Amino acid sequence: MYSFISHIKFIFSATNQHGVHSPFVYSYITKGLYTKKKFATSKSVDILLKSIRYFNIKNLKINSESNLYLNNIKPNFPNLETKASQFEGIYLENCKDWNNTIIEKEIKNITWVFINNIHKSKEENTFWEKIKKQKEIKVSVDLFYCGILFFRKEQEKEHFKIRY
């Protein structure tokens, strides 16, 4: 029930690419997320795969034994590395997996963190709100099904809610 009510609230407060005033986020939405190619039926998996393609991710921190990796990521991106010392992308199944000490060691300016299920429960949503307020995170994109965090040092702190 929480997820349903949260989704209704989200729809009324979110925007599409026309409400975005950041060239970085606008480009990501229009050239990455809103492309016609569909990778998966699950919206969050589709967003993840489109993000990997748009940012041309070469190494992603994800459990290489997971079904998501084996069934969706590996077939579409066979050269993607999952065992590197620094990552361009980090996948977290939920907000509870956030660990500041690991994240801080592994981030680069271009790194993004994909967090699945940010509105699944009140607790997850509370975690999401805390995470996106951290000073290192400059841009957060809430797509309801998932959230994406960016560590762009050259950008002012901004939060976007985007309908997908």
pLDDT, tens digit (0-9, with 9 covering 90-100), for 29-63: 999 999 988 999 899 999 999 999 999 999 998 88
Asked if residue 152 has pLDDT above 90, the reply is no
Domain count, the chain: 1
pTM above 0.75, yes or no: yes
Give the full edge-to-edge strand order of the sheet including 112-116: 60-61, 89-92, 112-116, 146-150, 139-142, 158-161
Instruction: Give the containing element (helix H, strand E) for 139.
Output: strand 139-142
Burial-class residue 94 by CB neighbours within 10 Å (0-12, 13-18, 19+).
Answer: middle
60-96 tens-digit pLDDT: 988 878 899 999 999 999 999 988 777 888 899 988 8
| Euclidean distance between the first and the last CA atom of the chain, given in angstroms as a whole number | 21
What pLDDT sits at residue 143? 94
Q: In terms of C-beta distances under 8 Å and separation of at least 24 residues, what long-range contacts does 84-87 make, across chains too?
A: 84/59, 86/59, 86/111, 87/59, 87/60, 87/61, 87/111
**Which two three-digit tokens encode residue 139?**
């841009």
Q: Tell me what the mean pLDDT of segment 123-139 comes to.
A: 91
What pLDDT sits at residue 53? 96
Burial-class residue 25 by CB neighbours within 10 Å (0-12, 13-18, 19+).
Answer: buried
What pLDDT sits at residue 154? 82
Domain boundaries, position 67: 2-161
